[in-house]
Amino acid sequence: MSDTENASLSPEARELHDGLDRVWGNPRGLRALTVVNHTTVGLRFIITGAVFFLIGGLLAMLIRTQLAFPDQEFMSHETYNQVFTMHGTVMMFLFAIPILEGLAIYMIPKMIGARDLVCPRLTAFGYWCYLFGGIILTSSLLLEMAPASGWFMYTPLSSGEYSPGRGSDFWLLGITFVEISALSAGVELVVSILRTRTQGMALHKMPLFAWYILAMALMIVVGFPPLILGSILLELERATGMPFFDVSGGGDPVLWAHLFWLFGHPEVYIIFLPGAGIVSTLIPVFAGRPIVGYGWVVAAVIIMGFVSFGLWVHHMFTLGIPQLALAFFSAASMLVAIPTAIQIFVWLSTLWLGRPVMKLPMLWIVGFLVIFVLGGLTGVMLALVPFNWQVHDTHFVVAHMHYVLVGGMLFPLMAALYYWLPQVSGRMPSERLGRWSFWLIFLGFNTTFLVMHWTGLLGMRRRVFTYDADMGWGLYNLISSVGGFMMAAGIALLLLDIALHFRFGKKASQNPWNADGLEWAMPKPPTAYNFVSLPAIETRHPLWEDPELPRTIEEGRHGLANIDHGRRETWGTDPLTGKLRETIHLSGNSWLPLLAALALAVVCISLLVRIYPLAAVATVVSIVILLHWSWVNGAHPKMAPDATVAPGEPPLHSRTMNGPGVWTMSVSHLANGSLFLSLLFGWFYLWTVAPEWQMPATSPLSMPMLVAAGGALTLGTLWLVKLVRRLRQHDDTGLSGGLYFAAALGALQSVLLGVVIWQADLAPTETAHDATLLVALLYVLIHALLGGLLCLLQGLRVGYGYVSAEVPYEPVVVLRLWNYNVVVYWILFVAIWGIPTLLGGG
Amino acid sequence: MLRWVLGGGVLLPVVSIVALLLLGAPTGRGMLPLPLPGGEEVELIEVVGHQWWWEVRYPGDEDQNDVVTANHLVMPAGEPVDFRLISADVIHAFWIPRLGGKRDMVPGRHSTIRLEADAPGVFGAQCAEFCGAQHTNMLLQVEAVERDEFDAWLAERRTPPEQVEDHDQAREAFGEHCASCHRVEGLPDEFAVGGREYDMEGPDLSDIGSRPTLGAGVLPMEEGAIAYWLQHHQTLKPGNRMPPHDHIDIETLENIGAWLETLEP
Amino acid sequence: MMKHLLKLTHPIHLVGGVTLWGIWFVAIYGGLSVACSVAPPAAEQDTLTGINVVIGILTLVVAGLLLWLAWASVGAARKTSLRRECYFAFTSAGVYLFSAMGTLFVGIPVIFLPPCL
């Protein structure tokens, strides 16, 4: 907080600040590893992402050096294949997505007037998973064992037979590890945006950026699980020989392509949407007027979010899929042009009707508009199947992709960097150095990639480590390489600019760009608790309508201006209207996220080096840590040292029945359900399409046992429903006994499922049929165990007084899991026993 | 302002994509292997992708053997040709840029793409889907020739080769070192020491002397090229599936090379 | 409790149109793939196959339903007095309209292309 403003505060207000600092402040030294605060963790995400960007950029420079001249021998083909694979992987998985998540984690609470995200420990856990996964993945480069099958890892090339080294394992395990972080950020951003907006901020009044991030987070939640499933299956195939993608065992390599692109296409939009969100936030500020057509933008974002899931096959146009099916995807790909064009014209008309000021962030936005429109146009060209067949897998596609991704993501990100830098550091960056670096990057980028379209049209394939001088591509490649190095110089200058500004930048005023967003109503540099008091916001442009807001917030004249209870608090509001519903109390700093991520890192590494006993031990350790984490929750004294609420304030969320935890559980099940649907898709896909798939004449699974297991699960769920209904009526007699009974039913279901698996006598390494069955059964078994275990813990918590009629919160959350289990179990039963039995084998 | 968003954001893209789709879908139709309106037979050529070379097969019928060659594709010009694409290992993609689009070769399935060379000529072809270490050097030379020339070319290869009595030494060495992976039409059984059980498939060498390149486009076929390739193939195309020949003396390799160069129909 | 979700002024309808579109899209793509692997029609039949006809009819039905929903949302927006509800209903109407047009557009190729080649 800046000293000048603090000086004018009344003694009461200063006391409030000090109290908040005590409860929210970050510890120093080693204990800094326990920090869970979204501002700090968000910055860590961004800085780590930037480091990976530099690594990915270095790899790009190596590629451009190799290709600068024909017949170069700068790198061997082995090194080159590793380098281009890792360039794509690092840029996509370790830079683009995490840095945008970091931006969202950092900005969202500040923009919607909250003090933190809903699950602060999850934020930190996500960061550690990202960091460790990223380190594991990039270490493969130093060990010269990096994956070398291209960033989409098409099997059989990436399979054990054709990539016998450890490279593919590094990719599959490392990426899955990193994706835990994407999913946790996705889940918590959704719930935070829906449930923790400040009082009065109704859904249609929230900042556009929040709409974009909401869409992005939901897309992460639904879009990442197919790849996670694919990675698990491919790693199982490599480690144990289960033939999911091996034709001779009844698998199909095209299943991998489907699972990968089911994730891979939405991923492009996951990267683009936050970029567009930045543009929609900055343009009104620099045009000095509200955006034209807020509703148009919201509709466009929703349409993009959905339609982008209908495009995945357009990466597979040459795989020999029937042309009519391709035409559907081709048409759907063209449809995306409409929401994109709507946004572009909304931005243009906002600029047209306003008075644009060409400050540095605006320069980057203009750069974005130019580059992204070009990338979008080549995108429409690529959606056309016959044209696609010609340029697919050439440098034309490489150029298109970089126009879309660099244009759609990097340029807005740079705009965001310059725009929000004063918010982070309290200082203004230099306009002059910034302009130099912009022009170097902009011109360098276009020099590299505009020419590359032409190289591709001349027939140069992507991923070749050299080319013959006779082909006549030398000059174009040389130009591209020169442009690439120009861009690198621009990046270096930009880093210099940022570094210098911390020392030499002018002090920023409270609202240096005259922006409308709440994030500019905070102290600079930001405090850990964001807002001293939480204002009621009834408008889309709080700071334009009430420029005095920063001062009144600072003076503690709004909500939650009390810290005597020692809790970390923020508002819980109605997702639709923004009416106050509860006071959410959040976790403080904790070692648990780091420990859990460390245990998972050990799991990951021991799977990588194939020491399975160690992996098993580390898995148990991480489960114990996670369960302990769930124990320190709700009414646990560490979470709510003092459970009294000031009169007139809404109840603590742990004393209600529809708090954010219930929402978190539901959104997590969206992800879980997406994983399950991907598995179901895999089952039916292999069944109908895989050339050598063999369906046994009768199902190997015991029907009575399956039904009995399902019966135990169903009974347990109904039982929990009854318990929760009684809790709703404030009746907790026999609660612990009831919970133990449900736990016993969960255990019974697990045992019965174990018997089913044992009796079936599957040969998972022989046929894809048995392998898929085994994975499906293990999936429900794990859920059965989890359901039972959580009920057991709940029963114990009743004894500690953490769960009761006063604190009825957690059984509702656990019930959600059981509900999910029941639905999934019976669907699976129909899919793996019912339909095969009905249709007969063969 | 609404006019801008409606006109630019909705009308402009709608008109463009409708026009594109109405143009694109019929264009794609032309590339489908549909029966020809006149009911003529379409020439079918089978191409198999291997790491990192091309097997080209001209299917025969009851009376005729398949003609098999490698890294060299001869097709009739002026008429549509169906290419039936298969992979022996990983995913490859078959692409003759001058003749049209590319199509992936996926293990376990086959797909057909129809292409036509309007006039005779020589075209480059290449693997377009990244397929591992030597993806770069997976090239194929395509020759489109007049119909009767094509028929003659095929007929030449369908007639059994004359038995050559010289080069016995080379054939014996070939039988010992090479025949477990490579086939040569008419090689007498007594030379094939390792038997005819192929450990792994290497290119069929029956007409290698008539091919334009060696190693799927790595070297031009000249006198002595094969012997040179046999000695240095792991430096010329590192990682290729043929084991190094350090254990075989140079003279033997030169003999084998000299004999192989004579193999043309 | 679920009843208020059915009212066209509820924001859940913001995603209603694209959800229906998505289900339709998966249905025609999945149905086409299954039909082609179970009972592929002869190449001579060209586009005059049962598969094309069924997909065509399904497309028209879904597009019709979406159009009706778009129209009904406009009606709901006109009727309500709450600004918030009016806003959501109009935006939903736009998304329903887009989805209806998108359905028709994506369905066009059944006129030109045989199903399984």
- Subunits touching A (CB < 8 Å, at least 3 pairs)? B, C
Asked if A184 contacts A125 with a C-beta cutoff of 8 angstroms, the reply is yes
Mean per-residue pLDDT, A723-737: 93
- The structural domains of chain A, with segments of one domain joined by +, span 3-507, 694-842
pLDDT per residue as tens digits for the range A126-179 = 999 999 999 999 999 999 999 999 999 999 999 999 999 999 999 999 999 999
**For residue A4, is pLDDT > 50?**
no
One-letter amino acid identity for A580?
Answer: L
- As a whole number of angstroms, the distance between CA A652 and CA B245 comes to 78
- Main-chain dihedrals φ then ψ at residue C66, nearest 5 degrees: -65, -40
In this predicted structure, what is the pLDDT of residue B56? Answer: 95
In this predicted structure, what is the pLDDT of residue C39? Answer: 83
The secondary structure of C58-117 as a DSSP string is: HHHHHHHHHHHHHHHHHHHHHH---HHHHHHHHHHHHHHHHHHHHHHHHHGGGGTS-S--
In this predicted structure, what is the pLDDT of residue A3? Answer: 41
In this predicted structure, what is the pLDDT of residue A1? Answer: 39
CB-neighbour burial class of residue B190 (10 A; exposed 0-12, middle 13-18, buried 19+): exposed
Higher pLDDT, A788 or B176: A788
> B168-261: what CATH class?
mainly beta
b/e burial code for range A260-271 (CB count within 10 A of at least 16 → b): bbbbbbbbbbbb
- As a whole number of angstroms, the distance between CA A627 and CA C23 comes to 38
Residue range(s) of every CATH 2.60.40.420 domain in chain B: 43-150, 168-261
In this predicted structure, what is the pLDDT of residue A87? Answer: 97
Lowest mean per-residue pLDDT among A332-346, A391-405, A464-478, C29-43 = C29-43
- The answer to whether the bond into A109 is cis (omega within 30° of 0) is no
Triad B95, C111, B36: Cα angle to 5°: 55
pLDDT per residue as tens digits for the range A352-391 = 999 999 999 999 999 999 999 999 999 988 988 888 999 9
End-to-end Cα distance, chain A: 72
Q: How far is CA B140 from the centre of its chain?
A: 6
End-to-end Cα distance, chain B: 75
pLDDT per residue as tens digits for the range B51-64 = 999 999 999 887 78
Chain A neighbors of C40, CB-CB under 8 A: none
Asked if A456 contacts A395 with a C-beta cutoff of 8 angstroms, the reply is yes
**For residue C1, is pLDDT > 60?**
no
In this predicted structure, what is the pLDDT of residue B171? Answer: 87
In this predicted structure, what is the pLDDT of residue A259? Answer: 96
CA closest to B31 among chain C residues? C117
Nearest by CB to A299, from C25, C32, C95: name it: C95
* Mean pLDDT computed over every residue of chain B: 89
C-alpha dist (Å) from residue A88 to A51, A84, A401: 15, 6, 11
- As given in the structure block, the two tokens for residue A108 are 């969202």
Q: In this structure, is residue C26 part of a structural domain?
A: yes
Q: Which residue in C90, C95, C112, C113 has the most chain B C-beta atoms within 10 A of its own C-beta, making it the best mutation to test that interface?
A: C112
The residues, ordered by sequence, that sit 6+ positions from C15 with a Cβ below 8 Å of its Cβ are: A302, A306, C95
**For residue A836, is pLDDT > 50?**
yes
Contact assignment for B13 to A340 by CB distance below 8 Å: yes
Residues of C (29-48) whose Cβ lies below 8 Å from A: 29, 32-34, 36-38
- As given in the structure block, the two tokens for residue A26 are 């970050």
Asked if A140 contacts A170 with a C-beta cutoff of 8 angstroms, the reply is yes
In this predicted structure, what is the pLDDT of residue B3? Answer: 82
Q: Provide the pairing of β-strand B92-95 with B121-127.
A: antiparallel
Contact assignment for A204 to C106 by CB distance below 8 Å: no
CA closest to C46 among chain B residues? B34
Mean per-residue pLDDT, A705-732: 95
- As a whole number of angstroms, the distance between CA A750 and CA A708 comes to 11
Number of domains in chain C: 1
Contact assignment for B18 to C112 by CB distance below 8 Å: no
Q: In this structure, is residue C115 part of a structural domain?
A: no
Chain C neighbors of B14, CB-CB under 8 A: 101
**For residue A2, is pLDDT > 50?**
no
pLDDT per residue as tens digits for the range A40-58 = 999 999 999 999 999 999 9
Q: In this structure, is residue C114 part of a structural domain?
A: no
Give the gyration radius of chain B's Cα atoms.
23
Sheet containing B80-87: give its strands across.
B67-70, B53-58, B43-50, B80-87, B111-116
In this predicted structure, what is the pLDDT of residue A707? Answer: 97
Higher pLDDT, A635 or C98: C98
- As given in the structure block, the two tokens for residue A371 are 């580059």
Mean per-residue pLDDT, A397-408: 95
Beta bridge partners of A463: none
Higher pLDDT, A700 or B159: A700
Asked if B104 contacts A47 with a C-beta cutoff of 8 angstroms, the reply is no
pLDDT band with cut points at 50, 70 and 90 for residue A643: confident
Give the gyration radius of chain C's Cα atoms.
18
Question: Cα torsion for B203, B209, B210, B214, to the nearest 10°?
Answer: 50
Q: Provide the pairing of β-strand B80-87 with B43-50.
A: parallel
Q: In this structure, is residue C116 part of a structural domain?
A: no
Lowest mean per-residue pLDDT among A251-265, A723-737, B148-162 = B148-162
Nearest one of C34, B1, B228 to A688, comparing CA atoms: C34
Three-class SS of residue B216? coil
Contact assignment for C109 to B21 by CB distance below 8 Å: yes
In this predicted structure, what is the pLDDT of residue B2? Answer: 78
Positions of E strands within A318-447: 427-428
Beta bridge partners of A583: A571, A652
The residues, ordered by sequence, that sit 6+ positions from A524 with a Cβ below 8 Å of its Cβ are: A2, A422, A423, A426, A508, A510
**For residue A761, is pLDDT > 60?**
yes
Contact assignment for A154 to B238 by CB distance below 8 Å: no
Q: Which residue in A319, A343, A693 has the most chain B C-beta atoms within 10 A of its own C-beta, making it the best mutation to test that interface?
A: A319
User: For chain C, what percent of residues have pLDDT higher than 90?
Assistant: 56
Contact assignment for A309 to C22 by CB distance below 8 Å: yes
Asked if A700 contacts A762 with a C-beta cutoff of 8 angstroms, the reply is yes
- H or E stretch covering B144: strand B139-145
pLDDT per residue as tens digits for the range B149-181 = 999 999 999 887 776 667 788 888 888 888 888
In this predicted structure, what is the pLDDT of residue A750? Answer: 97
**For residue A393, is pLDDT > 60?**
yes
Q: How far is B11 from chain A (nearest CA, A)?
A: 9
* Mean pLDDT computed over every residue of chain A: 93
- As a whole number of angstroms, the distance between CA A317 and CA A339 comes to 23
Three-class SS of residue B76? strand
CB under 8 A, 24+ apart: contacts of A292-295: A292/A346, A292/A349, A292/A350, A292/A353, A292/B1, A292/B4, A292/B5, A293/A346, A293/A349, A293/B1, A293/B2, A293/B5, A294/A204, A294/A208, A294/A540, A295/C87, A295/C90, A295/C91, A295/C94
Q: Any alpha helices (H) in chain B, and if so which ranges?
A: 2-4, 12-29, 147-158, 168-177, 225-236, 250-261
In this predicted structure, what is the pLDDT of residue B201? Answer: 80
Nearest by CB to B106, from A254, A345, A352: name it: A254
A3-507 and A694-842: same fold? no
pLDDT band with cut points at 50, 70 and 90 for residue A183: very high
DSSP 8-state assignment for residue C40? P
Give the gyration radius of chain A's Cα atoms.
27
- Main-chain dihedrals φ then ψ at residue A838, nearest 5 degrees: -65, -45
**For residue A635, is pLDDT > 90?**
no
Q: In this structure, is residue C55 part of a structural domain?
A: yes
One-letter amino acid identity for A373?
Answer: V
C-alpha dist (Å) from residue A360 to A10, A286, A439, A544: 38, 10, 11, 21
pLDDT per residue as tens digits for the range A305-327 = 999 988 888 888 888 888 889 99
CB-based contact, C15 to chain A, within 8 Å: yes
Q: How far is CA A842 from the centre of its chain?
A: 41
ipTM: 0.94
**For residue B198, is pLDDT > 60?**
no
CATH fold of A3-507: Cytochrome C Oxidase; Chain A (1.20.210)
Contact assignment for A253 to B134 by CB distance below 8 Å: no
CB-based contact, B34 to chain C, within 8 Å: yes
Q: In this structure, is residue C100 part of a structural domain?
A: yes
Three-class SS of residue A546? coil
Mean per-residue pLDDT, A752-761: 95
The residues, ordered by sequence, that sit 6+ positions from A7 with a Cβ below 8 Å of its Cβ are: none
- As a whole number of angstroms, the distance between CA B130 and CA A151 comes to 11
CATH fold of B43-150: Immunoglobulin-like (2.60.40)
- H or E stretch covering A423: helix A411-425
Contact assignment for C98 to A299 by CB distance below 8 Å: yes
User: For chain A, what percent of residues have pLDDT higher than 90?
Assistant: 87
Q: Provide the pairing of β-strand B139-145 with B72-76.
A: parallel
**For residue A789, is pLDDT > 90?**
yes
- As a whole number of angstroms, the distance between CA A234 and CA A239 comes to 9
SS (H, E, C) A214-240: HHHHHHHHHHHHHHHHHHHHHHHHHHH
**For residue A425, is pLDDT > 80?**
yes
CA closest to B110 among chain C residues? C117
Chain A neighbors of C49, CB-CB under 8 A: none
Nearest one of A308, A485, A467 to A395, comparing CA atoms: A467
Mean per-residue pLDDT, A523-544: 93
Contact assignment for A461 to B128 by CB distance below 8 Å: yes
Asked if B76 contacts B145 with a C-beta cutoff of 8 angstroms, the reply is yes
- As a whole number of angstroms, the distance between CA C117 and CA C110 comes to 13
Mean per-residue pLDDT, B121-140: 95
Range of the structural domain that residue C63 is part of:
14-38+45-108
In this predicted structure, what is the pLDDT of residue C17? Answer: 93
CA closest to C40 among chain A residues? A322
b/e burial code for range B130-163 (CB count within 10 A of at least 16 → b): bbbbbbbbbbbbbbbbeeeebeebbeebeeebee
Q: Other CB atoms closer than 10 Å to residue C31's CB: what's the count? A: 14
CATH fold of A694-842: Four Helix Bundle (Hemerythrin (Met), subunit A) (1.20.120)
DSSP 8-state assignment for residue B194? T
Nearest by CB to C18, from A307, A324, A327: name it: A307
- As a whole number of angstroms, the distance between CA A737 and CA A726 comes to 14
Q: Other CB atoms closer than 10 Å to residue A121's CB: what's the count? A: 24
User: For chain B, what percent of residues have pLDDT higher than 90?
Assistant: 58
**For residue B193, is pLDDT > 70?**
no
